[in-house]
Structure 1
Amino acid sequence: MITTSRAQLGSIVSLVADASLIMLSDRIHRGSLINARGAIEERMAEEAGTAAFLREFEMRAPVRRIGLSAASG
């Protein structure tokens, strides 16, 4: 029969709890990275859409830029 002391059982329980926390922390960290990556990709898509809209707008109605020297007189 295998006997273990209370101290050994406490150490085993502590190790299992630590391992569980590490695994949970890893899952949360990976989830955060996935969410951050998704947010970045979404923002890049929005910016690409805005850039495409502006290009289309400029092709249909050319914008004339007025320099400071021309505006001042």
Structure 2
Amino acid sequence: MANQQEEERGSANSELRFITLDLMKIAQRRKMAFEKVAQEFVSNVYSLEQMLSASCSAQQASRPRVSSKEKL
């Protein structure tokens, strides 16, 4: 179990490094501070999360309800 957690942590750290490098490149191209670009990225992540949550809720609400007898 500890090995799995270490693997997951390592994978997450690797992803963060890739994201950080990409944000640094964007900041350099835009001639903006890294912190400002990173804040924009985080804001976009939260916006996307809200959109996906709303979309999932809307899809579940629009599905026809199936009674438990019909499921079997």
TM-score category, normalised to shorter length: 0.3 to 0.5
Which protein shows a greater Rg? 1
TM-score by length of 1: 0.45
State the structure with bigger RCO (CA 8 A, min sep 6), 1 or 2. Answer: 2
TM-score by length of 2: 0.46
